[in-house]
A and B are shown apart, each in its own frame.
Chain A
Amino acid sequence: MNWSAFIVFAVLFALVTAVGFWAARWRKGDLSLLEEWGLAGRRFGTFISWFLIGGDLYTAYTFIAVPGLVYGAGVAGFFAVPYTIVVFPIMFVVMPRLWRVCHANGYVTPADFVRGRFDSRGLSLAVAITGILATLPYIALQLLGIQVVLEAMGVTGVGILHDLPLIIAFGILAAYTYTSGLRAPAATAVVKDTLIYITVIVALIVIPAKLGGFGHIFSVANASLAAAPKPASIMLGPKGYSAFATLALGSAFALLLYPHAVTGMLASNGQKTIRRNAVYLPLYSILLLFIAMFGYFALAAGIHTKVSSLVVPLLMLKEFPSWFAGFAFAAIAIGALVPASIMSIAASNLWTRNIYKEYFKPTASTADEARVAKLVSLIVKLGAVIFILALPLTYAIYLQLLGGIWILQTLPAVMLGLYTRWFHRTALLIGWLVGMVIGTVMAASQGFVAIFALHFGSFVLPVYAAVWATLANLLVSVVLTGVFNAAKVASGVDATSAAQYQDAASGPIGA
């Protein structure tokens, strides 16, 4: 057991726990209302939103998985950079519009919006279930971030003792999320990012100097990738172009459709706050680019492991004094708690608003909603702990891969729905189903990889399966909309009005 690392880790963890519980009293609101518990009263300004959304989108799993991918697959893992570049122009344009219409109608979830826009319980349920299914494995994988750093510090035991630290960590998280709601991840995100930024800056100063500079790191990494059983490279070849670009584009749209991303955005105090954050958030992408390079640092440092999630912890242990490794590990573990908290809140909001209230108790008051959502957030986290402890890790990774494909299938209803009501609700529902099935089959047919190659004669085009599935989804939605409209199938009543989508400069709605 590495005591000096563990003590630093434990102290920082205790600090974050205190911040999490204190958050209940921060910007005081009536936490027995769902809008207060689950969206913190929609009153976060630019500064807090930056930490909240940043902590939301750049998770511990990202910080563990991206360098792990680069360590094994080389440049292919760097699709994460164009992905986190193009996501912000999309956010800049689309999310303020979503904020406006949700604010005007008191919508808490994307499924609320779809329910109002298309007057369709079925489509709303589809969006809610997709969101919950996509979020659960994501929460489970955040636990992996905590698990690997505990393992790296030598916190081991037999039987229940082995899992106890992880259970305690998640128990604490569950408790302060229960009492403080979305205020907890927002407040702890400030601590998390401070630790992450310090860790990465120190790593960039210390590690390349120890390893002989970037030039040397890249050439050693390249040689080592080329010699691997599955050879890779630091340079992207023409055969990899389409996979690289479509993974980036598909992931960017998918990210903004995830319920936790929507929750983070809706909690801001205005559409300008969202736009301003689209301007400032790319700062995290600079960080991500360097974190991805940790995969090369590990290759150059001669770290050998078959477990890609251990690449970053092993690198830190090897290159940092143990007390600073403890600091870095705390950054990763706390980096897991922030998104896990927001994700569990987002999943609870969906369950409460779009399933419980819609199907089980239509008379639920806002206080009932908050009570159910708090309880569900506990169940969701318990489920995640059982998932990661009882099932093989590959299940969570496969499901998270599928989750990205699934969530993108809500794009026509949620994102295009913000711009047009031309699509017929039943067409969108069938399109969604087709996309879900095609995407799942494509990924599963090859042993759960994200890329699926279509053959057009002798021409082969490898593309992110989520993108193929979304194209099929859109095609079906367009064709069937034509059919249903021609057959004069009722398309319901739009509960939103055109003015509710307009921005502040041209209408009275919005801040």
Chain B
Amino acid sequence: MDGKSAPTRSKHGWYWLLIIPFIATLWPPFYAHEHPIVAGLPFLYWYLLVWVVLVGVISAIVFAITG
């Protein structure tokens, strides 16, 4: 659908990286725990905080590669 030239098509494969934040944050068994506590924050809270940062990092990587 996207792109006629081969390089563009292969670069679009990097878009699959964007699926990672969905798996990491929409499956609560991964993070619905209290421990370990960091800086007073139960695991669930700082895990989600870390993922807010990571979603930006992952998008930045995909942006840098695909333009």
Binary per-residue interface labels of chain A (491-509) against chain B in the complex, 1 for a CB within 8 Å, 0 otherwise: 0000000100111111100
Q: Decide yes or no whether A93 CB sits under 8 A from chain B.
A: yes
For B56, the chain A residues whose CB sits under 8 A away are 88, 279-280, 282-283
A470 → B minimal CB distance (Å): 16
Jot down 8 A-B pairs with beta carbons below 8 A, ordered by A.
A89-B22, A92-B59, A92-B63, A237-B32, A249-B22, A282-B59, A505-B3, A507-B4
Q: Chain A nearest CB: distance from B11 CB in Å?
A: 8
Tell me which residues across on chain B come within 8 A of A276, comparing CB atoms.
Answer: 63
Categorize the interface residue count of chain B. Answer: 35 or more
Residues of the B chain whose Cβ atoms lie less than 8 Å from the Cβ of A240: 28
Chain A contacts with B in 217-275, Cβ cutoff 8 A: 217-218, 234-238, 240-241, 244-245, 248-249, 272, 275
- In the complex, what distance in Å separates the CA atom of A89 from the CA atom of B47? 18
Interchain CB contact under 8 A, A92 and B18: yes
Contact of B52 among A81, A213, A241 (CB under 8 A): A81
Q: Beta-carbon contacts of A188-227 to B below 8 Å, as 1s and 0s?
A: 0000000000000000000010000111111000000000
Residues from chain B with Cβ under 8 Å of A245 in the complex:
26-28
Among residues of A, the one whose C-beta sits closest to the C-beta of B33 is A235
Q: A285 — nearest CB in chain B belongs to which residue?
A: B52
Q: B44 to chain A: which residues have CB within 8 Å?
A: 75, 78, 235-236
CA distance A286 to B49 in the complex (A): 7
B20 to chain A, nearest CB (A): 9
Q: Which of B5, B15, B29 contacts A93 (CB 8 A)?
A: B15
User: In the complex, A89→B57 CA distance in Å?
Assistant: 11
Contact B51 A85 (CB under 8 A): yes
With a CB–CB cut-off of 8 A, which chain A residues contact B58? 89
Q: Name B's A-contacting residues (CB within 8 A).
A: 1-5, 8, 11, 15, 18-19, 21-22, 25-29, 32-34, 37, 39-42, 44-45, 48-49, 51-53, 55-56, 58-60, 62-63, 66-67
Q: How far is the CA of A181 from the CA of B52 in the complex (A)?
A: 32
Whole-angstrom distance between the Cβ of B54 and the nearest chain A Cβ:
9
5 interchain residue pairs of minimum CB distance: A214-B40, A215-B40, A506-B3, A82-B25, A89-B18
Does A433 sit within 8 A of B, measured CB to CB? no
In the assembly, what is the distance between CA of A503 and CA of B59, in Å?
17
Which residues in A have their C-beta under 8 angstroms from that of B62? 92
For residue B40, which residues in chain A have a CB less than 8 angstroms away from its CB? 208, 213-218
A88 to B25, Cβ gap below 8 A?
no
- Indicate if the CB atoms of B2 and A503 lie closer than 8 Å: yes
Q: Is the interface of A mostly helix, strand, loop or mixed?
A: helix
- Tell yes or no: A278 within 8 A of B by CB: yes
- Whether A278 contacts B48 by the Cβ 8 Å rule is no
Task: Map CB proximity to B onto A351-372 as digits: 1 under 8 Å, 0 otherwise.
Answer: 0000000000000000000000
A270 to B65, CA, bound (A): 18
A478 at the interface (CB under 8 A from B): no
Query: Are B28's CB and A279's CB within 8 A?
Result: no
Give the residue name and chain of the B residue nearest to A81 (CB).
B48
Q: Are B63 and A279 in contact (CB under 8 A)?
A: yes
A419 at the interface (CB under 8 A from B): yes
A502 touches B52 (CB 8 A): no
Task: Answer whether residue A289 sits at the interface, using C-beta atoms and an 8 A cutoff.
Answer: yes
Contact across chains for A215 and B37 when beta carbons are under 8 A apart: yes
Interface size, chain A (Cβ < 8 Å): 50
- Find out whether the CB atom of A506 lies under 8 angstroms from the CB atom of B2: yes
Q: CB distance B53 to A282 under 8 Å? A: yes
Contact of B53 among A215, A278, A286, A505 (CB under 8 A): A286
A506 and B8 within 8 A (CB):
yes
Cα of A381 to Cα of B13 in the assembled complex, Å: 45
The reply to whether B26 and A82 form a contact with Cβ atoms under 8 Å apart is yes
The docked-state distance in angstroms from the alpha carbon of A84 to that of B51 is: 11
Say yes or no for A126: interface residue by CB 8 A criterion: no
Query: Closest B-chain residue to A83, C-beta based?
Result: B25
Whether A505 and B8, one on each chain, are in contact in the complex, defined by CB atoms closer than 8 angstroms, is yes
Q: Which of B19, B48, B55 contacts A88 (CB 8 A)?
A: B55
18 new A-B pairs (CB below 8 Å) besides A272-B67, A282-B52, A289-B49? A85-B48, A85-B55, A86-B25, A89-B55, A89-B59, A92-B18, A214-B41, A218-B41, A235-B33, A236-B32, A245-B27, A279-B63, A286-B53, A289-B45, A419-B1, A501-B2, A502-B3, A505-B8
Complex Cα spacing A272 to B64, Å:
11
Q: Is the CB of B5 within 8 A of A506?
A: yes
User: Which residue of chain B has its CB nearest to the CB of A208?
Assistant: B40
Tell me the bound Cα distance from A368 to B42 in angstroms: 57
Q: Check if A234 sits within 8 Å of B60, measured CB to CB.
A: no
Residue interface mask A478-500, B partner, CB < 8 A = 1: 00000000000000000000100
Kindly provide the distance from the CB of A239 to the nearest chain B CB, expressed in whole angstroms. 11
Most buried by B among A85, A213, A244: A85
CA of A275 to CA of B63 in the docked complex: distance in angstroms?
A: 7
A75 to B34, alpha carbons, bound, how many Å?
12
**A85 contacts B52, CB within 8 Å?**
yes
Separation of A213 and B18 alpha carbons in the complex (Å): 35
Pairwise interchain contact A289-B52, C-beta atoms closer than 8 A: yes
Q: In whole angstroms, what is the CA distance A280 to B60 when docked? A: 8
